[in-house]
Amino acid sequence: MTAPFRKHALALATLLALAAAPFLGFGDGFALSLLARAMILGMAAVSLSLLVGGAGLVSLGHAATMGIGAYTVVAFDAAGVSEGLIVFPAAIAAAAAYALVTGAVSLRTSGVHFIMITLAFGQMAFFTTSSFSSLGGDDGYTLYARTEWLGTRILDNRLTFHFLCLGLLALVWVGGNLLLGSRFGRVLRAARENPQRALAVGFQPYPYRLVAYVMAGAVGGLAGALLANATEFVSPALLSWTRSGELLFMVILGGVGQIGGAILGALAIVLLEESLSHLMVYWRLVFGPLLVLSVLFLPDGLVGAPLRLRAAIRFASPKRRNADA
Amino acid sequence: MPDPLLELRGLSKNFGALTVTSDVSLTVLPGEIHAIIGPNGAGKTTLIHQISGTLRPDRGTIRFAGQDVTALPFERRARLGLARSFQITSIVPGFTALENVALAVQARSGSSFRFLRPVANEKALNEEARAALDTVGLGRVADRGAAALSHGEKRQLELAIAIAMNPRLLLLDEPLAGAGPEETERLIGILRELRSRYGILLVEHDMQAVFALADRISVLVYGRVIVTGTVDEIRDHPEVRTAYLGEDALA
């Protein structure tokens, strides 16, 4: 029991810290909206991590699912519908449908081709949303109001929204881990490491990958619907390929080996971006090298950092003792 | 004579102008070890690829267990009970030995579109996987990472995976390749025990092993079966001698 606990300790601690944050001086509107953003992007990053780390599918178009979720909220808003019981399932379904159609095609390729084709689909979605003039086109769209639940404006309370995002993030994280440990997950992992072996025992990886791709898309759609509510503004920038790249970077920075890493990665990037941009104008000059260094020195990502640190200390300590002697 | 488990009829395959399989017909009976030997480049592995379904023949038919499987893909043939091992060991390195085998058990026991229950705790899968590991003598390393196994152990693991598929026919592509003398001895012992349970089509370079194990031997030269016979018939066959002497002379 202790081994799996230790494996997930860092992600669990992060979730607990997020739960405590509003009561530890991060309860103001600015801090809460920043944390909400981090948690929502974290949710999308966890679903991408399921594809990258679990199934070995490096998608460079994952932001499109988030964008489709967000634009579903916008489309309903423009039509005067803001009931969550309609809007949220619709956002999830729309993103899942997009993932089903694009995945059915993309998953026939692999490696670099897969990256390129997911990028291409993502760009198609980007330009499609840019051309919706009734939804603001390039300029984006400001929501009239946040989504209601059974007619109540429950999401307007920032603290409620904080814990809704946190709860859903935790749910996605736990669900993802269960998924990877299930029969389904075992087939995915085997097909990632050795597709020939999966075939040889009788598993065609394609349907398993497609289902995983649709599931990740659905979570992306959920994240998008939440993000639209968090910012109350949606623009095509949400679907840009740099946003997909950012999600991918959150996954890699956090650690591909564990989907919980994506939570850490998302939080680290959102907070770093925010604090650096306040410190100086040319913050990207610092941000870039920091990311490069993290990849160089933390190949297992942030989740692997404690282990690496412990190993480094163990490696350094006898030397120091010898020097003293 | 019992119905053959596997029957190849007039199998041919060209890569451009190069004929790699030329009108090959042979059978494997239940409980029989049928070995295929031949000099390097004779098309042995290409033939295995066509039987397992990773390569489509240009002409000819493959019947397996009374069914025409010529058009079936690799994984569908596997589910019918056609298990193959690879010339270059093919396992899932990140899995434990047990999980490698349990994956094969899982493939034939119920749906794998199950998303929540931890598969590592599924007793039925693990027990069958352990039994297969015991059969090949790997019971004691069941929980070790597959990547950490020795070369010989990996070859044994591949056999255990094949057994766990509960197959009717084993298609073994040089199962002894790269194994040391002790490992070879052990693997031959395992294959001898398996022979009564499955039909085995064995491609192997180690002549000692082939002569010790095979019921029948087919000799493949330039993609063509030049002769099929018992061990004694093959040993003394003049064409076989030339084929092999020819290879020696070239080497």
CATH 3.40.50.300, applies to B1-81+167-251: yes
How many H helices and E strands in chain B? 9, 10
In a domain? residue A274: no
Cross-chain Cβ contact B114/A182 below 8 Å: yes
- Proportion of chain A in helix, strand, coil states, percent, rounded to 5: 80, 0, 20
Average the pLDDT over A307-316 and give the result: 83
Residue owning tokens 């298609």: B171
Could you give the CA distance from residue A234 to residue A238 in angstroms, rounded to a whole number?
Answer: 7
pLDDT of amino acid A325 = 43
Query: Domain for residue A222, yes or no?
Result: yes
Write out pLDDT tens, residues A234-284: 999 999 999 999 999 999 999 998 999 999 999 999 999 998 888 888 888
Are B70 and B61 contacting, i.e. CB atoms less than 8 angstroms apart?
yes
Closest CA in chain A for residue B49 = A200
Q: What is the pLDDT of residue B251?
A: 39
Contacts of B122 in chain A (CB under 8 A): 183
Are A133 and A140 spatial neighbours (Cβ–Cβ below 8 Å)?
A: no
Decide if A325 is inside a domain: no
**B87 interface with A at CB cutoff 8 Å:** no
Query: What is the percent of chain A where pLDDT is above 70?
Result: 96
Distance from CA of A19 to the nearest CA of B (A): 26
**Predicted local confidence at residue A223, as pLDDT:** 98
Q: Does B108 touch chain A (CB under 8 A)?
A: yes
Residue A51 belongs to a domain? yes
In chain A, which residues have their Cβ closer than 8 Å to the Cβ of B90? 194, 196-197, 200
The closest CB to that of A181, out of B75, B78, B120, belongs to B120
B74 contacts in chain A (CB < 8 Å): 199-200
The domain tally of chain A equals: 1
End-to-end Cα spacing for chain A: 41
B116 to A178: CB separation less than 8 angstroms, yes or no = yes
Residue A140 lies in a domain: yes
Any A CB within 8 A of B128 CB: no
Q: Looking at beta carbons, which residues of chain A come within 8 Å of B76?
A: 202
Q: Can you give the pLDDT at residue A310?
A: 85
User: Is the Cβ pair A201, B112 closer than 8 Å?
Assistant: no
- The 10s digit of each residue's pLDDT in A150-201 is 888 988 899 999 999 999 999 999 999 999 999 999 999 999 999 999 999 9
Domain assignment of residue A57, yes or no: yes
Range of the domain at A196: 2-239
Q: Each residue of B76-98: pLDDT tens digit? A: 999 999 999 998 899 999 999 99
- Helices A63-78 and A241-254 pack at an angle, to 10 degrees, of 130
Positive or negative, the CA dihedral A56, A58, A63, A64 is: negative
* B123 contact A CB<8A: no
- A117 or B195, greater pLDDT: A117
User: Is residue A93 a contact partner of residue A75, using CB atoms and an 8 Å limit?
Assistant: no
Taking the Cβ of residue A184 and every Cβ of chain B, the question of whether any pair is shorter than 8 Å is answered with yes
Burial of A113 (0-12, 13-18, 19+ CB in 10 A): exposed
Total-model pTM: 0.92
Which tops the pLDDT comparison, B210 or B240? B210
Taken as a whole, chain B contains a residue count of: 251
Residues of chain B with CATH 3.40.50.300: 1-81+167-251
Least confident of A15-19, A207-211, B32-36, B184-188: B184-188
**Interface check B78 vs A, CB under 8 A:** yes
Given this model, what pLDDT does residue A292 score?
A: 87
Residue of A nearest to B107 (CA): A202
CB-CB contact of B169 with B111 (8 Å): no
CB–CB contact A202 B120 (8 Å): no
Mean pLDDT confidence for B64-73: 94
| Option in B74, B115, B116 nearest A199 (CB) | B74
Cβ-defined contact of A196 to B90 (cutoff 8 Å): yes
Q: Is B83 on the interface with A (CB under 8 A)?
A: yes
Query: What pLDDT was estimated at residue A318?
Result: 62
Which range is least confidently modeled, A113-117, A170-174, A199-203, B247-251? B247-251
Task: Give A3-27 pLDDT, tens digit per residue.
Answer: 677 789 999 999 999 999 999 989 8
Once rounded to an integer, what is the mean pLDDT over residues A206-213? 98
Question: How much is the pLDDT for A1?
Answer: 46
Partners of B118 on chain A (C-beta within 8 Å) are 178, 181-182
- By the 8 A CB rule, do B152 and B29 touch? no
Question: Does residue A25 fall inside a structural domain?
Answer: yes
Residue B250: which pLDDT band, with cuts at 50, 70 and 90? very low
Cβ contact B91–A178 (<8 Å): no
